[in-house]
A and B are shown apart, each in its own frame.
Chain A
Protein backbone atom coordinates (compact mmCIF):
# COMPACT_ATOMS: atom_id res chain seq x y z
CA UNK A 1 0.00 0.00 0.00
CA UNK A 2 0.91 3.65 -0.19
CA UNK A 3 3.62 4.74 2.20
CA UNK A 4 4.42 8.13 3.61
CA UNK A 5 7.76 8.54 5.35
CA UNK A 6 8.37 11.25 7.91
CA UNK A 7 11.78 12.23 9.23
CA UNK A 8 13.02 12.63 11.89
CA UNK A 9 10.78 10.59 14.16
CA UNK A 10 11.98 12.43 17.21
CA UNK A 11 13.94 15.60 17.80
CA UNK A 12 15.03 17.37 20.97
CA UNK A 13 16.57 20.80 20.69
CA UNK A 14 17.17 24.03 22.54
CA UNK A 15 14.82 26.97 22.56
CA UNK A 16 15.45 29.34 19.64
CA UNK A 17 16.52 26.60 17.24
CA UNK A 18 14.83 26.06 13.90
CA UNK A 19 13.77 22.51 13.15
CA UNK A 20 12.98 20.99 9.74
CA UNK A 21 10.69 17.99 9.32
CA UNK A 22 10.49 16.10 6.03
CA UNK A 23 7.50 14.27 4.62
CA UNK A 24 7.92 12.00 1.61
CA UNK A 25 5.46 9.93 -0.37
CA UNK A 26 7.51 6.86 -1.26
CA UNK A 27 5.49 5.10 -3.92
CA UNK A 28 3.08 7.66 -5.30
CA UNK A 29 3.01 11.27 -6.38
CA UNK A 30 1.11 13.39 -3.92
CA UNK A 31 -0.96 16.19 -5.36
CA UNK A 32 -1.54 17.58 -1.88
CA UNK A 33 0.16 17.19 1.46
CA UNK A 34 -1.21 18.19 4.85
CA UNK A 35 0.47 19.08 8.13
CA UNK A 36 -1.12 18.42 11.50
CA UNK A 37 -0.17 19.01 15.10
CA UNK A 38 -1.33 16.91 18.02
CA UNK A 39 -0.96 17.73 21.70
CA UNK A 40 -1.14 14.97 24.35
CA UNK A 41 -4.57 13.40 24.73
CA UNK A 42 -6.00 15.65 22.03
CA UNK A 43 -7.07 15.13 18.46
CA UNK A 44 -5.12 16.10 15.36
CA UNK A 45 -5.34 19.76 14.42
CA UNK A 46 -4.88 20.69 10.78
CA UNK A 47 -2.18 23.34 10.40
CA UNK A 48 -1.84 23.79 6.65
CA UNK A 49 -2.52 22.37 3.23
CA UNK A 50 0.33 22.23 0.75
CA UNK A 51 0.15 21.80 -3.01
CA UNK A 52 3.25 21.20 -5.10
CA UNK A 53 4.68 24.37 -6.55
CA UNK A 54 2.35 26.76 -4.79
CA UNK A 55 2.14 28.49 -1.43
CA UNK A 56 0.66 26.58 1.46
CA UNK A 57 -2.78 27.46 2.80
CA UNK A 58 -2.69 27.90 6.55
CA UNK A 59 -5.56 27.31 8.95
CA UNK A 60 -6.78 30.18 11.06
CA UNK A 61 -4.52 30.84 14.01
CA UNK A 62 -1.46 29.14 12.52
CA UNK A 63 1.43 31.56 11.98
CA UNK A 64 2.83 31.13 8.50
CA UNK A 65 6.09 32.86 9.41
CA UNK A 66 6.52 30.49 12.34
CA UNK A 67 5.73 27.31 10.45
CA UNK A 68 7.34 27.45 7.03
CA UNK A 69 6.13 24.91 4.53
CA UNK A 70 7.89 24.06 1.30
CA UNK A 71 6.44 21.64 -1.23
CA UNK A 72 9.15 21.46 -3.85
CA UNK A 73 8.12 18.25 -5.58
CA UNK A 74 5.26 15.79 -5.83
CA UNK A 75 6.96 13.52 -3.32
CA UNK A 76 8.42 15.91 -0.75
CA UNK A 77 7.08 18.54 1.61
CA UNK A 78 8.97 20.09 4.50
CA UNK A 79 7.80 21.88 7.63
CA UNK A 80 10.26 24.18 9.36
CA UNK A 81 9.46 25.34 12.87
CA UNK A 82 11.40 28.58 13.15
CA UNK A 83 12.83 29.83 16.43
CA UNK A 84 11.11 27.03 18.30
CA UNK A 85 10.04 27.52 21.91
CA UNK A 86 8.79 25.07 24.53
CA UNK A 87 5.15 25.75 23.61
CA UNK A 88 5.91 24.42 20.11
CA UNK A 89 6.65 21.00 21.59
CA UNK A 90 4.15 18.65 20.06
CA UNK A 91 3.58 15.66 17.79
CA UNK A 92 3.70 16.80 14.15
CA UNK A 93 2.12 14.57 11.51
CA UNK A 94 2.03 14.87 7.75
CA UNK A 95 -0.22 13.19 5.24
CA UNK A 96 -0.30 12.92 1.47
CA UNK A 97 -3.06 12.37 -1.02
CA UNK A 98 -3.29 11.62 -4.71
CA UNK A 99 -6.50 12.07 -6.64
CA UNK A 100 -9.48 10.35 -5.02
CA UNK A 101 -7.39 8.00 -2.92
CA UNK A 102 -7.59 8.13 0.89
CA UNK A 103 -5.02 10.17 2.78
CA UNK A 104 -1.92 8.34 3.89
CA UNK A 105 -0.22 9.52 7.04
CA UNK A 106 3.36 9.52 8.20
CA UNK A 107 4.28 8.13 11.60
CA UNK A 108 4.79 11.58 13.06
CA UNK A 109 7.64 13.59 14.55
CA UNK A 110 7.86 14.10 18.28
CA UNK A 111 9.33 17.59 18.81
CA UNK A 112 10.60 18.53 22.25
CA UNK A 113 11.96 22.02 22.85
CA UNK A 114 14.00 22.49 26.01
Chain B
Protein backbone atom coordinates (compact mmCIF):
# COMPACT_ATOMS: atom_id res chain seq x y z
CA UNK B 1 0.00 0.00 0.00
CA UNK B 2 1.30 3.45 -0.89
CA UNK B 3 2.37 5.47 2.15
CA UNK B 4 1.43 9.11 2.45
CA UNK B 5 3.02 12.03 4.27
CA UNK B 6 1.01 15.11 5.15
CA UNK B 7 1.64 18.00 7.54
CA UNK B 8 -0.04 17.35 10.88
CA UNK B 9 -1.68 20.76 10.88
CA UNK B 10 -2.07 23.95 8.88
CA UNK B 11 -3.73 27.29 9.39
CA UNK B 12 -5.36 29.64 6.93
CA UNK B 13 -7.13 32.94 7.12
CA UNK B 14 -10.73 32.99 6.05
CA UNK B 15 -11.30 33.77 2.35
CA UNK B 16 -7.68 33.09 1.47
CA UNK B 17 -6.48 30.16 -0.66
CA UNK B 18 -5.13 27.05 1.04
CA UNK B 19 -2.67 24.58 -0.43
CA UNK B 20 -2.63 21.22 1.33
CA UNK B 21 0.33 19.06 0.27
CA UNK B 22 0.65 15.30 0.23
CA UNK B 23 3.66 13.13 -0.57
CA UNK B 24 2.94 9.66 -1.92
CA UNK B 25 6.28 8.65 -3.37
CA UNK B 26 5.49 4.91 -3.43
CA UNK B 27 2.29 5.30 -5.41
CA UNK B 28 1.72 2.76 -8.16
CA UNK B 29 0.90 3.69 -11.73
CA UNK B 30 -2.74 2.68 -11.41
CA UNK B 31 -3.52 4.34 -8.08
CA UNK B 32 -5.95 7.21 -8.18
CA UNK B 33 -5.28 9.94 -5.63
CA UNK B 34 -8.35 10.58 -3.53
CA UNK B 35 -8.89 13.39 -1.06
CA UNK B 36 -11.41 13.25 1.74
CA UNK B 37 -12.09 15.50 4.68
CA UNK B 38 -13.59 14.77 8.05
CA UNK B 39 -15.37 17.15 10.37
CA UNK B 40 -15.51 16.33 14.09
CA UNK B 41 -17.84 13.44 14.94
CA UNK B 42 -18.76 12.84 11.30
CA UNK B 43 -17.80 10.37 8.62
CA UNK B 44 -15.33 11.43 5.93
CA UNK B 45 -16.63 13.46 3.00
CA UNK B 46 -15.37 13.02 -0.55
CA UNK B 47 -13.56 16.08 -1.90
CA UNK B 48 -11.87 15.21 -5.18
CA UNK B 49 -9.79 12.58 -6.96
CA UNK B 50 -7.50 12.30 -9.97
CA UNK B 51 -4.98 10.11 -11.74
CA UNK B 52 -2.53 12.26 -13.70
CA UNK B 53 -4.13 15.47 -14.86
CA UNK B 54 -5.12 18.33 -12.60
CA UNK B 55 -8.77 18.22 -11.61
CA UNK B 56 -11.30 20.84 -10.61
CA UNK B 57 -14.72 20.57 -9.03
CA UNK B 58 -17.02 22.84 -7.08
CA UNK B 59 -15.23 22.09 -3.81
CA UNK B 60 -11.56 22.23 -4.71
CA UNK B 61 -8.79 21.75 -7.23
CA UNK B 62 -6.25 18.95 -7.27
CA UNK B 63 -2.79 19.53 -8.65
CA UNK B 64 -0.82 16.34 -9.31
CA UNK B 65 2.93 16.41 -9.82
CA UNK B 66 4.20 15.16 -13.16
CA UNK B 67 5.96 12.21 -11.47
CA UNK B 68 2.80 11.58 -9.38
CA UNK B 69 4.84 11.36 -6.20
CA UNK B 70 3.02 14.28 -4.68
CA UNK B 71 -0.21 16.20 -5.00
CA UNK B 72 -1.73 19.39 -3.62
CA UNK B 73 -5.33 20.03 -2.70
CA UNK B 74 -6.27 23.64 -3.30
CA UNK B 75 -9.16 25.35 -1.58
CA UNK B 76 -9.54 28.60 -3.44
CA UNK B 77 -11.21 30.58 -0.67
CA UNK B 78 -11.20 29.00 2.75
CA UNK B 79 -14.34 29.33 4.84
CA UNK B 80 -14.93 28.41 8.45
CA UNK B 81 -16.82 25.34 7.23
CA UNK B 82 -13.63 24.08 5.60
CA UNK B 83 -12.03 23.48 9.00
CA UNK B 84 -11.52 19.72 9.05
CA UNK B 85 -8.94 16.94 8.83
CA UNK B 86 -7.94 16.37 5.20
CA UNK B 87 -6.73 12.98 4.03
CA UNK B 88 -5.04 12.05 0.77
CA UNK B 89 -5.38 8.39 -0.13
CA UNK B 90 -3.84 6.50 -3.04
CA UNK B 91 -6.49 4.04 -4.13
CA UNK B 92 -6.21 0.99 -6.39
CA UNK B 93 -9.84 0.03 -6.24
CA UNK B 94 -9.54 -2.32 -3.29
CA UNK B 95 -9.08 -1.04 0.24
CA UNK B 96 -8.82 2.54 1.49
CA UNK B 97 -6.10 3.09 4.07
CA UNK B 98 -6.20 6.42 5.84
CA UNK B 99 -3.03 8.16 6.94
CA UNK B 100 -2.87 10.72 9.72
CA UNK B 101 -4.14 13.61 7.58
CA UNK B 102 -3.78 17.38 7.97
CA UNK B 103 -5.89 19.25 10.47
CA UNK B 104 -6.86 22.56 8.87
CA UNK B 105 -7.73 25.50 11.08
CA UNK B 106 -9.43 28.47 9.44
CA UNK B 107 -8.96 31.77 11.24
CA UNK B 108 -11.81 34.29 10.98
Contact = CB atoms under 8 A, between A and B. Distances in A.
B87 A43 contact: yes
What range describes how many residues of A lie at the interface? 20 to 34
Contacts of B100: 43
A43 B101 CA distance: 8
Given A95-B43, A107-B42, A102 B34 contact: yes
Contacts of A103: 34, 36, 46, 96
B17 interface: no
A67 interface: no
A43 B99 contact: yes
Nearest to A91: B41
Interface residues of B, number: 20
Helix, strand, loop or mixed for chain A's interface? strand
Given A43-B101, A46-B95, A46-B97, A6 B41 contact: no
A89 interface: no
27 contacts: A4-B43, A43-B98, A43-B99, A43-B101, A44-B38, A44-B44, A45-B98, A46-B95, A46-B97, A49-B95, A59-B95, A93-B44, A95-B43, A95-B44, A100-B93, A102-B34, A102-B46, A103-B34, A103-B46, A103-B96, A105-B36, A105-B44, A105-B45, A107-B43, A108-B41, A108-B42, A110-B41
